[in-house]
Amino acid sequence: MKKILILGGGFGGVFLAKKLYRASRKNFDIELISDNNYFVFQPLLPEVASGAINAEDAVSPLRKLLKGVKFRNAEIKDINLKNRKVLVLQGFRKRSHWIHFDHLVIALGQESNLDIVKGLREHAFTIRNLKDAYNIRNHILSCLELADVTKDQLLKKRLLNFVVIGGGFSGVETIGEIKEMVDRVINYYPNIHSEELQFHIVEYANRLLPELDETLGKYTKKVFLENKIIVHCESALLEVTGTGVYLDNEKIINTNTIISTIGSTVSKLISQSKFKLNKGKIITNENLQVSGYKNIWALGDCALVPNKKENEEKKIKTYAPPTAQFAVRQSQFLAENLMLLESQKKLKPFKYQSKGSLASLGSRKGIGKIYGITVRGLFAWIIWRAFYLSFLPSFSTKIRVLLGWMLEFI
C-alpha cells in the first residue's frame, strides 16, 4: 500500500484522513502526525475563554476521531523531500525517528506573528489554542478579583479596561464573549460597578469586519455601541506595554488586558523548507499539488490554493481564504485527487463557492451572509451556532455542545 503521511491535526488534516480512510483504506497506509493529541475547534475558543461552554466541547481526542488511522503524537522537525521522509521527535526524551512516505500532505496551518508591533509578543494574549483560552479566562477573573479589593484607583481603572486588537471575525467574537462573561459574574464583586468597566476593540481598517459588506460592519458597530463596547476604527497600533495600548491618533488605552487576534505567519518548518512561498504560504496548483512536486500536497491555512470557481466568475486569479469551511472542502478534493492519481486518472481542480460567512457578536446577536442573503440579530446568531455545530468532527461532541447551548438559551 502507498504510504500517505499527513502533517497537522487541524481541519484540513483531520477531515482528509477521515475521508481517505472511509473511501480507500485498502489502498493507502494513512498516518497523521501532530504535536497535539487532540483536535481544537478554534471558532469556539472565545466561548471557552468566556466560560460559555466547557473546554471539552471545543476539543476532541485525535485517536477517537481517527479510528483506524495511524496517529503519532510527535514534533515535526524536518522534511527530506529527496529521500521522501520526515524527521520527528517523540517521547519524553525527544528521540528522533525518520518516517518514509509515498505522498506527503502538509496541513500545518499558521502561527501567531506578534513581532509586527513593538511589545505585542511580551504583553498580549493570543487565542489560538485551549491554553490561550484558559489563560485569558483566568487572567480576566484575576483582574476582577484585584479590582474588587484595591484602593489604587489608577490600577483599578487598568484592571477593568479590556482591549481586543483586530476587528475581524475572531476579534468581534472575542470581545463579544468577554463582555458577556464579565456581565455574568460582575454581581459577585460588590466593589465593582458596571460603569467602571470598559471594553475596547481596535481595528486598522475604517470599519469592523472588513471582510464583509459595509452595511454589516456598520451594524456590528451599532450593536457594540449599544452593548457599551468602545470601537476604535482607522486606528493603527504603535506599541503595547504591560500597562497600555498606544494608537497612532495619540490615544492611549490604559489596560492590563490585551488580546491580539492579528498577525499570522508560516511555521518555521515551512519557512526553512525548499517550498516556493507567496505571502508566507506554500504555492500549490489547482489540484492542491505543491509547486514542482507530484507527490507533495498542501491545504488549509498554510497553502495558497487557487480557486477555479471564483477564477471563472471573476475572471481574475483568486485564492481560497484561510477558513475552516474551505479547509474541509479542500480535504475532500485532495482525497479524491489522491485516489484519482493512483488510478492514473485526470485530477480535479479545486472549485468551491463559499456558503457564506458568519460571526457572533455576543448578547445573542450575530451577523453574516448566507448564499448572498444578509442575516443579522438573533436569527443570525442561531444560524451561526448551527453552522459551526455541523463542522464539529464527532457526533457525541455535537450533542454535548448543542445541549449546552440550549440550556444557555433557556
What pLDDT is recorded for position 409?
59
Residue 112's pLDDT is 82
Closest to 100 (Cα-Cα) out of 90, 85, 113:
85
Spatial separation of the C-alpha atoms in residues 306 and 312, rounded to whole Å: 11
Say if residues 365 and 381 touch (Cβ distance below 8 Å): yes
92-144: pLDDT as tens digits: 999 999 999 999 999 999 888 888 999 999 999 999 888 999 999 999 999 99
Whole-number Å distance between alpha carbons of 363 and 158? 24
The pLDDT of residue 129: 87
- Cα distances from 136 to residues 175, 371, 392, in angstroms, run 12, 35, 23
Say what the pLDDT of residue 56 is. 76
In 251-371, which residue ranges form alpha helices assigned H by DSSP? 268-271, 308-314, 324-342
CA distances from 325 to 15, 239, 296, 337, 372 (A): 11, 34, 22, 19, 16
Strands of the sheet with 356-362, listed across from one edge: 356-362, 365-370, 373-376
Ranges in the chain, pLDDT < 70: 309-316, 391-394, 396-397, 400-402, 404-410
Give the phi and the psi of residue 332 in degrees, each rounded to 5: -70, -45
pLDDT at 372: 81
Q: Quick one: what percent of the chain has pLDDT higher than 70? A: 94
- The greatest distance separating any two alpha carbons of the chain, rounded to the nearest whole angstrom, comes to 75
CA 342 to chain centre: 33
Q: What is the DSSP string of 210-264?
A: TTS-HHHHHHHHHHHHHTTEEEE-S--EEEE-SSEEEETTS-EEE-SEEEE---E
